[in-house]
A and B are shown apart, each in its own frame.
Chain A
Amino acid sequence: MSAVLVIFYVLAGLAVLGAVTLILQSHPIHSALSLILVMVSLAGLYLLMGAEFVAAVQIIVYGGAVMVLFVFVIMLLNAGEEEHTSFSKLARFAGIPLALALAGMIAAAIARSSAHLPAPAMSGALTSTKRLSMLLFSEFVYPFELTSFLILVAIVGAIVLAQREGN
């Protein structure tokens, strides 16, 4: 059993652990922290696959910006323990089994059908990043530009929604 595989298992375990705790934690803050755990471990996995740039972005944008935003909002609304209502009979009785069933189906299908794929080739970091930027500004320039508008929309939206009454 190679070291790489060990690392994989460790990181994967951490990721799953994080996801599970996200579910089990009853306070939003804890859930947020466990989500950060997932993200970080995923970043690790990206590195393991040799996608350094993505790993970096994952840490910076996700782990940094987005999650901070989350935590900030949680603080702002000082959301406490979530109350364990279950008005939804459906979710209460059918929800979890169904969700698990779905996950099972997807996992099974993927496991059955993706065995033939070759293992990730750890390409050199720089080259991969270079290719990345090439793609981004040549082939995918259109979506790339669109994302700028997307962010603009987000900003406008945020302003509209968050701005106080009687601006």
Chain B
Amino acid sequence: MVPQAADIVRVLPEIIWCVFGVLLMLLQPYVKNRQVLTFFGMLGAALGTLSTFLGHMGSGFSGLIQFDIFSLFFHWLLGLVAFLVILAADSYLERENLPAAEFFALILFATAGMGVLASAQELLTAFIGLEMSSIASYVLAGYRRDSVKSSESAVKYFLLGSFATAFFLYGIALVYGATGSTNLVRIADADPGSNLLRLGLALILVGLGFKVAAAPFQVWTPDVYEGAPTPVTALFAAGPKAATFALLLRIFTTIHAATEFWFWAFWILAVVTMFVGNLGAIVQTSVKRMLAYSSIAHAGYTLVAFAAVRFLSTNSEIGPWPAYAAVLFYLLGYSLVKVGAFTIVSEIGGQGERHLTMDDFAGLGTRQPFAAAAMTVFLLSLLGMPITAGFFGKFYVFKAAIGSKLIWLAVLMTINSVIAAYYYLRVIVVMYMREHKGEMPADTALSLSPTAAMVVVVAVAATIYLGLFPNHILGIVLSQNLFASR
């Protein structure tokens, strides 16, 4: 029962992230140079990510966590996101003149929490992880203390987030009551017929649905994303969402009953979410808010793959793997793109995030060719155009959906991607085909700051690479032992 060294190694990433978080806090009084802190933050993120190689597969802490390719994949994803966000935040913090150390520390803590979420195999541990990331996120959302919007987004996120958490927790309680355990594996063995279990799972779905911004739980997303400091928004769009999906997926794979209970729920959530996200995005004038809505829509697309799991796992010889692969690949591509896009937005936004409207993007193609080009790549990826990661993501989701005979879902998704084309295109049109009206605000940087540029370059490169040669990633996400057997 007493944890072994192996267990420790299996949670090394979380430990490293937290430790570096603490380290940053300790350094803060002495180091006045922001770059150094940035460096430390990135170092922490990187080390944590790399440390995944040390641990070998298997469950740790008497089954509380499961360290397998799946969690490894997500640790990588989260680490990468954290790394990029920290890098992107550097110039932002300077511009907004905000304390750096706490910021990076919180990001690392949040990342650690997500990591826990990704590898947790026991609901309470997951809950702790969720809370870690959430609490850190609340603070990050309100990080621009003097900004009314920022604090508002913090309040909304905090109140609604804890509200949802309560549901999640109550769900856990009921599941525990029904099965006498919170360990997924043991829950799976329990009688799936009991109403208590079903109720519990329903409540859990409410809680998690909120975190992944599935309609009608998406309500908080646009406000929080818009109010939060843009790099933080990037983190929100990529990290917690991915981690929560990871947990959902883990529950799916472990508790077969869940796929049954949740099937229609996911079907309907997916459709509603797609439509709400896309239709909402059409009418937005602020690019940042538009991207927020678009991330709702993308959550919807991901849910489509979830809906596909049930049929595949029961009726097809290959099993649900295509659906899982779709989710993983989709999240990867999506996260990278979102981070890149929000980075650009934050750079264009300028001091005090005052230039977020479409008009501010007008003529970007001539003013900042590089930024505009990169933004175009991201938008096309979100739109699901070929030779971008987004295309394959969407492709695999489609494939999963059609593979499980969800033709109607696929058709609805198609219609949505056409709607989406409209507003993504609008940004491109504005950037290249409109000239900027009025005089140029002085403080808009004539080009991206080097750090941000780095982030963008990485994101673009990754997006296109995944769009051309997805094989490597596919090799990982399609591996049959994605989830190490118990």
Contact = CB atoms under 8 A, between A and B. Distances in A.
Interface string A90-109: 00000000000000001001
Contacts of A141: 2-3, 61
B147 to A, nearest CB: 12
B146 A160 contact: no
B128 interface: yes
A161 interface: yes
B196 A110 contact: yes
Contact of B135 (A106, A138, A142, A154): A154
Contact of A109 (B124, B132, B199): B199
Contacts, number: 93
Given A160-B143, A165-B146, A149 B109 contact: yes
A147 B156 CA distance: 24
Interface of A: 106, 109-110, 112-114, 117, 138-143, 146-147, 149-150, 152-154, 156-157, 159-161, 165, 167
Given A160-B139, A161-B139, A150 B128 contact: yes
Interface of B: 1-3, 7, 11, 14, 18, 21-22, 25, 60-62, 64-65, 99, 102, 105-106, 109, 112, 116, 124-125, 128-129, 131-132, 135-136, 138-139, 142-143, 145-146, 154, 170, 174, 177-178, 194-196, 199, 203
A139 B195 contact: no
B109 A113 contact: no
Nearest to B65: A142
Given A113-B194, A146-B116, A146-B132, A157 B61 contact: no
B196 A142 contact: no
Contact of B196 (A114, A138, A152): A114
A154 B137 CA distance: 11
B164 to A, nearest CB: 13
A-B pairs, top 5 by smallest CB distance, nearest first, are A157-B139, A113-B195, A138-B1, A142-B61, A113-B196
Contacts of A165: 145-146
Contacts of B18: 149, 152
A150 B177 contact: no
B299 to A, nearest CB: 22
Contacts of B129: 146
Contacts of A139: 1, 61-62, 64
Nearest to A146: B128
Nearest to B112: A149
A153 B132 contact: yes
Contact of A147 (B1, B3, B128, B145): B128
Given A142-B64, A143-B125, A153-B106, A110 B139 contact: no
B206 to A, nearest CB: 10
Given A147-B128, A149-B18, A150-B128, 12 more contacts: A109-B195, A113-B194, A113-B196, A114-B196, A140-B64, A143-B128, A146-B14, A146-B116, A150-B131, A153-B106, A157-B138, A161-B154
A149 B195 CA distance: 36
Contacts of B25: 156
A69 B99 CA distance: 26
A161 B142 contact: yes
A114 B199 CA distance: 11
A41 to B, nearest CB: 19
B125 A142 contact: yes
Name the residue among A109, A143, A146, A153 with the largest chain B CB count within 10 angstroms.
A153
Contact of B132 (A112, A142, A150): A150
Contacts of B11: 142
A160 B196 contact: no
Contacts of B196: 109-110, 113-114
A143 B124 contact: yes
A167 B194 CA distance: 56
B210 to A, nearest CB: 14
13 contacts: A106-B170, A106-B203, A110-B199, A112-B195, A113-B178, A139-B1, A141-B61, A142-B65, A143-B125, A146-B125, A153-B135, A153-B139, A160-B139
Nearest to A137: B2
A161 B99 CA distance: 11
A117 B129 CA distance: 30
A91 to B, nearest CB: 12
